[in-house]
Structure 1
Amino acid sequence: MTSSGAAAPSPHDKLAFRHDINALRAIAVTSVVLYHFHLPYAWGGFVGVDVFFVISGFLMTQIVTKRQAQGNFSVWTFYADRFYRIVPALWTVCFAILIGTSIWLDPLSLRGVARSVASSITFLSNFDYATQGGYFGGASEANWLLHTWSLSVEWQFYLLYPLLFVIIAAWAPLRGRKIAVLVAIGLLSLLLCAVVPLTRYDALLRTSFFLLPARAWELIAGGLVALAPCDRLGRRAKAAALVVGLALILASVLAFNGGTAWPNLATVIPVAGAALVIAAGHGSAGWTRLPGVQPLGRWSYSIYLWHWPVIAAFTYFAVENTALAIVAGVVLSIALGWLSYVLIEQKLTRRLFDRRSPSARPGVILNGAIAALLVLTAGVFATHGLEALKFPRSEPTVVAAADRIKVAAGDWSFPKSCATYHVTRTGLRICRQGGGGPVETFVIGDSYSEEIAPRYRTLPRGPADPAVVFVTRPGCAPLPGVQLRGSIKNCGASTDEALAMAKTGNYPRVAIVASWLGSFNKAEGEPSRGRVCFERGLTCRASGDETVYLQDATAAFGRLGLVIRDLRAKGAEVMVTKTFPQASEADPKRLFARLYRTRTLDDFGVPTDQMRQTAAYPNQLVDSLGGPDGAVLVDPLDHLCGADCPLVTDGTPLYYDVSHIRTNTVSSPAFAFLDPYILPRGAQR
């Protein structure tokens, strides 16, 4: 969502106001807001951003071609107009967030906010977030300015697009040739968008989502509508285009979800829908005059800017996601958007552009404001989130607790603790602990196997000493025919390779250690359970019907059960762990915030009964792997939990992040229950 979400691009453009485009903005921002607040049936509301890209491409093409036709086109004027249009509201949001979080947030969270403010106001946030992680994960809600990635994409588009038209004007001035050039560039971008999900590198998916090359075709689609002779369409053709376009957008909102790898070839559906609605040109049709539609369209840019910080604030202060909280959040987002529209987009922008004022120097004012904001963010970042001020040395117990949290957040020893380590063609990580002798235990799993691997780093490493091999793929449940939703990781290929290695290796013992809860727990705001989908030919299904989903999950565990029985028949001992304890409150980032608010880091945990209830669904699935000819099932809750599953003990955090236990904890006697199934025979702790 970008400047195209506002009522008018700039005073210089003087484009005819179209109520249908403004209504399309209202639809787009509504879908995005409802999706981010986890409203049912708005599963694919994130496609609203794709709709905004099409709108922006249409408007920018109109602006450039109109000025070129008038003979007064200037690249620098185009840049200035876009800058003046976008920056005031964006700067206001960034400044308000930086000041507010400087008062209320803990140092660790504040340092992250300062980084985000700097990357957002310089339109580099999409590059920043592409290196940090995905857009659809729950942890994304801790990033107060994650949504500004789309502004960065559009600003980068604005920098390149007018230059392209200058080149086209000199080389191929005819409209048909302009269209041919844009089609060629758009097809290359679409090809990239389609090919990336077919590769096996997860980092490419993040790059594809956040960066311009795989998004440019969406903006160009709007540009092609601006260049096409849509006015020649008949009344019936326009009516059909409107109905089909709106239907495509609605279908996208209902059909897609956060588990969908995005963008991909299916992104054509909402993009085509937006293009058809614009091409229809029903400027003042009845649907555009429905109550609230036009105001929402006018306020859409500011609503988009403010709604995500509202969500981030709710997340940070642990506001329970009740119906009342959702309604309050949506209403607050709209109210802040309205205020920003009236005070910033209208009054402030008009003052900046008031040519009657001899002191009106918008460029100097805005650049000075940006420079001042960057100085503030640099100061906050350099002081580690004002840590000395928030955790003064006059409170030694608080400072000591903060230091213990920092140590926990960095206490992860995989793969550097491995005796040897390499990665296979399918992405499997092979970590060998022990010596060069025979492999006595073969451990298959995801990051939870990597979590326990450092416990065995002290095994003798002589050439004849026995070894334990950990074969892992983070994020991939070790189940045949199962993929990670919304990811381009080829989990199926790596799982097949790991299980084939287990079957052909004739290992005395095989252990399977994985995050069953992470794979199969119900994710908030998603129509289907868990993070996985089940292969069906060229597709991967994750049904929203609980009965169908359970059937698919049961079948996947049945396939793993067949492998286990085969291993048992060959004489191998097989152990499978059930769900490990985990809780969002264990995350060191949350502990840091807790320490800032309470000034203490008391011991606490999650009630074991509550943890068992949370783990009931995945543990029910794992139970099917046991039995006389199946695996030995080990329940970590039996060994790590008493009345509570501890998260902080003796003032020391036990976890590395929201779900993984830190190396120091795994190396303690509490995890000795794993040793009989993993340690080489005769090895002593």
Structure 2
Amino acid sequence: MTSFSEQENTATTPHLVHPKYRPDIDGLRAIAVLAVVFFHAFPAWLKGGFIGVDVFFVISGYLISTIIFNSLDKNSFNFLAFYGRRIKRIFPALITVLVSCSMFGWFVLYPDEYSQLGKHLLGGSTFISNFVLWNESGYFDTSAEIKPLLHLWSLGIEEQFYILWPLALWLAWKKHFNALLIITTISLISFFLNIANIHSDPSATFYLPQTRAWELLAGSLLAYINIYRHPLADPQGLSTGGTLRRVLLNPAAKPNEKIIRNTLSTAGTCLIGFGILFITKEHSFPGWWAILPVSGAFFIIAAGPDAWINKNILSSKLFVWFGLISFPLYLWHWPLLAFARIIQSDVPSREARVAAVLAAIALAWLTYRFLERPLRNNQSKLQTPILVVLMASIGVAGFTIFNLAGLPNRNAVKSAEQFNSQFVGPLWKFSQNNTCVDRYKFKEAESYGWWFCITNKDEKPTLLLLGNSYANHLYPGLAANKKINNHTLLSIGACPPNMGIPSDENTETNTTPCSGYRAYHQKLLINSIIEEEKTIKYAILDGLDSQPTDDAIKTIEERISYLESHGIQVIVFAPHIRIKKDLKGCFSRPLKSGPASCDITQQTREKIFNDFKPLIDEISKTHPTVKFFDQNELFCDFLGCSLVRNGMPLFRDEYGHYSEYASAQLATLFVKWAEQHAPEILEE
């Protein structure tokens, strides 16, 4: 992604030997960047366009390794010159985009959004975005579509490669180690880690360098083969490389050379084309699927500039032009699309996405023409340290923005303070407190990373909130309500209340809120609390499926039987309306024409009730004392239904978790219901 200019033979950098310019590689880079851009703008049209990043990895590995091998052979490799050139190549465009994002975000982003942008500014300026995003990834992560700097993960992997790989090759050269053996060994280890972890930890496999290194090293392998095509080129035992080079590309001018080159180029084009058309986000990627774009790029570069496709298509003026602006185009396109989605709080219109793509192309050309080229030709010794200082300043600014919670006192968003305070994300301050964690030691919690455990008193519980995050979001409202908080409330667990059979569990960890054996351990823990404390009188069950199957009804009935056998009154909360929607769009925002409608139909509520009624009927037959509460009164009244109540959002995130305001409002509605249907719970 970052090394399209590495092919230029720049005589002003005497310490490094640069490869001869190949316009077809710029053309290949054009295909890669356009695939990524159109995938992000129109994912339904180009479902596999994201594999363009993998093509970039191969190109970068090839060009950078070519420079290193040639320079080491001529004893002219210089670390300062190498890294100085990387800085001059990467920093100008990246600084421009980062500064532009921070300035634009100042005026349009709410504090929580601006705080996250600050964290990503820090990650982007230090080239660790892939680690930052990996740390954020998970079921409850903020939607990727509203992270303006999400795309910098790949730049982070490339820069980590640029930092470590020259040092590794330099040491190998100094110690006379076989470079081919090193490339092959590391590639195989990296590929094995990729295959081994793609299902158990897909986020780590996608973002971390050790599972992506093989893609860059595929380019390094090709560079090695091209340079050491003759056994005599390396007296240290590199004849293996020469043999491999002759197997793939016959260097002798024989009649079949053109056929071989065209076959390689055609095969590479077909592999990349197949990947773009048929690989989707649903595939386990990178995994085995990444072989397609990596092999495709490998074959196209190996075919050389004289293959028909390379010479007549990839080397054409249009493709080369897009290749030359590919790096700034990659940097600009995603922030424009992400900010458009943030402002609209929904997928932007097709016209808006087309405009964003055209604007990205224009900005990329301006960046290349008036920033990159002039600075690349400027040989001032102060240029590199100035760029480093500017990048470091962006990192400090990003850390400050993040540390100051997104600067909530900005005039542009101060008027939104009241309703925006409700948007705190899925994991909030009511997830845990020390009183609960200290009282109920849970040894398995460390392996799961998080666990709902919160209570309002350091006493034996009397009211249990049993379920997943949809039970936990009831806690703050009930705990604050004067007619309920005389109880000792305990919200504990992370799985639906009817789960907990080991044979039914998903043994993979960190993929869903109820991954691994979390439900089983939750059930054991809660059962031990019930049996040892002997004080729980009421249990509120929430987080049940709105369309329960017969098996689900059976497991719920079994759970209720257990609770009732211990003298616990069960109250089931019927599932609430869950619409995956960013409620920030329900309110005005700078640069936005007006708030979107957040009304919902009465039929939405009725459908949930009708779908859930078979469970109500079945449980009522076998357990007539169980009571059912319809919490969707929170959304609906005689005027209609809405996701906003009294000018405040009812969800705190896009997953349908109640805001603190909604939790309080629902507690009031529950108390009114309980006065008629369960008055004993208010008299405790």
> What is the CA deviation profile of residues 470-521 of structure 1, one whole-angstrom value per residue up to 9, with x for unaligned ones?
43249x999997979997459564477379869999999987633869xxxx
Pick one of 363, 371, 376 that aligns with 1:349.
376
State the one-letter code of the partner of 1:169: W
TM-fit CA distance, 1:218 = 1.6
**1:243-264: CA deviations, max 9, x gaps?**
4433333333344433445443
Aligned with 1:328 (options 351, 355, 367):
355
1:607: Cα distance to partner?
Answer: 1.5
Task: State the superposition RMSD in angstroms.
Answer: 4.8
Deviations for 1:223-256, whole angstroms, at most 9, x for unmatched residues? 1122231432855454444344333333333444
Q: What does 1:653-668 correspond to in 2, within 5 Å?
A: 653-658=649-654, 659-663=656-660, 665-667=662-664, 668=667
Question: Is 1:221 the counterpart of 2:213 in the alignment?
Answer: no
Per-residue deviation, 1:90: 1.0
Q: Describe the superposition over 1:41-78 as per-residue Cα deviations: whole angstroms up to 9, x where unpaired.
A: 42232222122111111111111001112221112211
Check whether the contact 1:261–1:487 (CA below 8 A) recurs between aligned residues. no
Q: Is residue 370 from structure 1 mapped to residue 396 from structure 2 by the alignment?
A: no
Whole-angstrom CA distance in 2 between matches of 1:386 and 1:406:
13
- SS of residue matched to 2:473: helix
- List aligned pairs for 1:299-448, cutoff 5 A: 299-318=325-344, 321-350=348-377, 352-353=378-379, 361-371=382-392, 373=394, 387-390=408-411, 402=417, 405-406=420-421, 409=424, 412-416=429-433, 418=436, 420=440, 422=442, 424=444, 427=448, 429=451, 431=453, 443-445=466-468, 447-448=469-470
- Cα offsets for 1:84-131 (capped at 9, x unmatched): 111111112122223333345455544443443333223233333333
Deviation of 1:161 after TM superposition, in Å, equals 0.6
Give SS of 2:493's match: strand
* Residue 40, structure 1, aligned to residue 60, structure 2: no
| Residues 661, 281 of structure 1: alpha-carbon distance in 2 compared, 3 angstrom cutoff | same
Corresponding letter in the other structure for 1:339:
L
- Secondary structure of 1:443's partner? strand
Aligned partner of 1:71 among 59, 72, 75: 75
Distance (whole Å) between structure 2 residues aligned to residue 657 and residue 578 of structure 1: 17
Q: What CA distance in whole angstroms lies between the structure 1 residues aligned with 2:124 and 2:217?
A: 24
Code of the residue aligned with 2:186 in structure 1: it is: I
1:163 has 2:167 as partner: yes
Letter matched to residue 575 of structure 2? K
Query: What secondary structure, in the 3-state scheme, does the structure 1 residue paired with 2:151 have?
Result: helix
1:449 Cα shift?
2.6
**Cα distance in 2, alignment partners of residues 256 and 510 from structure 1:** 47
Between the aligned partners of 1:124 and 1:611, the Cα distance in structure 2 is 47
8 Å Cα contact 2:35-2:52 kept in structure 1:
yes
State the Cα distance separating 1:178 from its structure 2 match: 1.0
Aligned residue in 1 for 2:271: 248
Match of 1:281 among 301, 304, 308: 304
Matched ranges for 1:39-188 at <5 A: 39-133=43-137, 139-173=143-177, 177-188=178-189
Q: Does 1:641 align with 2:636?
A: yes
Once the two structures are superposed, the pairs formed by residues 556-567 of structure 1 within 5 Å of their partners are: 557=549, 559-564=551-556
Residues 143-186 of structure 1, C-alpha deviations (whole Å, 9 max, x = no match): 2222122222211211111110111112235xxx2111122222
SS class of match (2:442): strand
Picking from 206, 211, 218, the partner of 1:209 is 206
Residue 524 of structure 1 corresponds to none
* AA in 2 matched with 1:268: I
- The 1-side partners of 2:609 and 2:292 are apart by 39
2: CA distance between counterparts of 1:369 and 1:438?
56
Q: Counterpart of 1:415 in 2: which secondary structure? A: coil
How many residue pairs match? The answer is 615
Match of 1:628 in 2: 618
SS of 1:42's partner is coil
Match of 1:264 in 2: 287
Structure 1's 10 and 90: CA in aligned 2 closer, same or farther, altered over 3 A?
A: farther
The CA deviation at 1:32 is 1.3
Q: 2:543 aligns with which of 514, 517, 523?
A: 514
CA distance in 1, matches of 2:123, 2:609: 43
**What's the CA shift for 1:297?**
1.9
Amino acid at match of 2:417: A
Q: Contact 1:106–1:596 at 8 Å: present in 2 too?
A: no
Structure 1 residue 323 displacement after superposition: 2.3
State the Cα deviation string for residues 269-321 of structure 1 (Å, max 9, x = none): 33233223323335534442568433222221111010011112212321753
CA distance in 2, matches of 1:486, 1:24: 38
Rounded to whole Å, the distance in 1 between the matches of 2:48 and 2:61 is: 22
In structure 1, the residue corresponding to 2:275 is in which secondary structure?
Answer: helix
Instruction: Give percent identity, aligned residues only.
Output: 24
CA distance in 1, matches of 2:592, 2:258: 66
User: Which residue of 433, 451, 455 corresponds with 2:473?
Assistant: 451
Contact 1:58 1:222 (8 Å CA) reproduced: yes
Provide Cα deviations, 1:309-359, integer angstroms capped at 9, x if missing partner: 111221232175322222222222222222222222323322x24xxxxx5
Give deviations 1:183-209, integer Å, cap 9, x for gaps: 22222222332333454xxxx654443
- Give the 3 Å change call, closer, same or farther, for CA 670–41 of structure 1 in structure 2: same
Distance, in Å, in 2 between the alignment partners of 1:252 and 1:679 is: 60
Letter in 1 for 2:187: G
Shift of 1:650: 4.7
Q: How does 1:554-633 map to 2 (within 5 A)?
A: 557=549, 559-564=551-556, 575=572, 577-582=574-579, 584-587=581-584, 594=588, 606-609=598-601, 612=604, 627-628=617-618
TM-score w.r.t. the length of structure 2 is 0.74
Say if 1:261 and 1:512 are closer, same or farther in 2 by CA, change over 3 A: farther
- 2:3 aligned partner: 4
Q: Is the 8 A contact 2:505 2:519 kept in 1?
A: no
Which of the pair has more CA radius of gyration?
2
Task: Check conservation: 1:61, 1:226, Cα contact below 8 A.
Answer: yes
The counterpart of 1:296, out of the listed 315, 318, 322, is 322
Give the structure-1-normalised TM-score. 0.74
